[in-house]
Structure 1
């Protein structure tokens, strides 16, 4: 049975969430603060951690940093605050995903199972049959898991790589957020897509000349994103 450590200081929330997760077939352990969470991870080695950002004493972000010093356990940040900065910082300190309260149990469980699948080494959804995707001066080598921009190697996190691969495989076409959720994040759910927006922002910071005025990955308001085709070289 898959074990989950729920780290939250609200007893009523923790109890309700634990009941819901057990109904979904998870074994649930709980911790009310960061120190207790670190002790549980060292002793019980859970398969996944649900970590609230707002905790007494150590913040959830600090707890995440400490966890990452000792473990690569799959970890999802949970918070009542929906500001994008929470998502950005949470992902940067090592979280695998981010969920904002309130959420639906179905959404949370879908995200948990997707994170667990990735952690188990199951291959991501097929992005393209091509071993290498090239658009202008950007080259994504699928087999070697490498990105080069103007010949320079650029380091990407796993989910950034998968996101870019999917956008490149559909270059010139609008890719909706729902499509990204289902094909990159593996969530068959229509709802909060802030995780996608955060990853796009981080990806732009690495591949765009001016991330505030993106030319490669453009936003199609109300729909999603499009990776723009590179202009053909001048004759």
Structure 2
């Protein structure tokens, strides 16, 4: 049974999240402020964290960064802040996904399951894969999940790693935002497709010599993205 930590100061919302998670067979614990949330998160007892951004004691951004320094479990930000700058900042400090309030319980459960499934695939599925994938300046070891750019190791978060691996494994093929969202986030493209653009920009920052003029992760206007060798 998966154990999920809900860090949310609005108890009405937190209890709704907990109730629907428990109906789906998850265990759920609520922390009502940032300091308590961090204390619980750092015990290592949880498989996933649902994290609000606006919290007393410590912001969700600070919390996410502190958790990421120790654990690589899925973090889903659940917040009323829906501006693109907030999403970029949240994903930049290590969140795997983002859902804006108000949300439907069905969407929340779908995102929780998709993120958990992807994490399990990343951590347990390497034995059946080709050990290394090479494309352009990128070399990916799928058994260790290590990525090298121009022979230098670079750290990639869960979704960044999965997106890069998919593009590198399918060079010169153009994928739309909808296709990438469905493949990487494992949900129908009903979510905010800005998530894909944010992750593409993060990849460019890490592998391109000049992210403003990318040579490898290219935009094909009106169609999507491709990895160019």
Q: Same fold (TM over 0.5)?
A: yes
Structure 2 stretches lacking a partner, 5+ long: none
Instruction: Name 1:210's counterpart in structure 2.
Output: 210
Instruction: Name 2:8's counterpart in structure 1.
Output: 8
Q: How far off is 1:59 after superposition? A: 0.8
Instruction: Name 1:233's counterpart in structure 2.
Output: none
3-state SS of 1:174 partner: coil
Q: How far off is 1:133 after superposition? A: 3.1
1:20-64 C-alpha deviation (Å, 9 max, x unpaired): 222222222212211222343356923221010111231111222
Q: How far off is 1:91 after superposition? A: 3.0
TM-score, normalised relative to structure 1: 0.78
Structure 1 stretches lacking a partner, 5+ long: 231-235
Q: What do you get for the CA RMSD once the two structures are aligned?
A: 3.0
Instruction: Name 1:200's counterpart in structure 2.
Output: 200
Distance, in Å, in 1 between the alignment partners of 2:147 and 2:40 is 38
3-state SS of 1:225 partner: strand
Q: 1:130 to 1:68 in 2, by over 3 A?
A: closer
Instruction: Name 2:152's counterpart in structure 1.
Output: 153
Q: Which has the larger radius of gyration?
A: 1
3-state SS of 1:56 partner: coil
Q: 1:52 to 1:211 in 2, by over 3 A?
A: same
- Equivalent residue runs for 1:22-171 within 5 Å: 22-41=22-41, 45-69=45-69, 71-120=71-120, 121-123=123-125, 131-135=132-136, 138-143=137-142, 145-149=145-149, 151-157=150-156, 158-171=158-171
Q: Provide the aligned length of Structure 1 versus Structure 2.
A: 224
3-state SS of 2:6 partner: strand
Instruction: Name 2:190's counterpart in structure 1.
Output: 190
TM-score, normalised relative to structure 2: 0.80
1:5·1:49 contact (CA, 8 Å) conserved in 2? yes
Distance, in Å, in 2 between the alignment partners of 1:42 and 1:186 is 28
